Amino acid sequence: MSTEKKQNINDKDIQVVLGTLLRAGVIISMSIVLIGGVVFLIHNNGVITDYKVFKPELSKFSSIAAIFKGLSTFHGDAIVQFGILMLIFTPIARIIFAIFSFFLERDYLYVLIGFIILAIITISLNGGLAH
């Protein structure tokens, strides 16, 4: 008679993975921002920027498509924007992983709550009701 060991994922394992996910996401996104800042400074050597007047409508990389287009041409400010985008998506990845772990535990109420939170974040990132 053979005995099979069933591997169960417990709460401590999930917390370790979630903590590692958040830590890695922050480190990776800040590394991307640092690299983008260095590239930006190299490409814009000696350019004096007027910070007295802030005009956000002049931003070249205000959409996700524009950020990826700027990444393909290796613009420093697009790389910085991508790093910030990665920092924004790190907690979203945590929510997705939490939904998956609640699903494995068959805790369907928390799966539903996770999907509601994910929907709220998605709607707010796409402009929300304010626009």
Residue 52, SS3 per DSSP: coil
How many helices (H) and strands (E) the chain has is answered by: 4, 0
Among the residues of 73-107, which ranges form H helices? Answer: 76-104
Tens-digit pLDDT profile for residues 38-90: 998 888 887 777 777 777 666 677 777 888 888 888 888 889 989 998 998 88
> What percentage of the chain reaches a pLDDT higher than 70?
82
pLDDT recorded at residue 91: 87
pLDDT recorded at residue 118: 92
Higher pLDDT, 131 or 109: 109
- Angle of helix 76-104 versus helix 11-43 axis, rounded to 10: 170
What's the predicted TM-score (pTM) here? 0.72
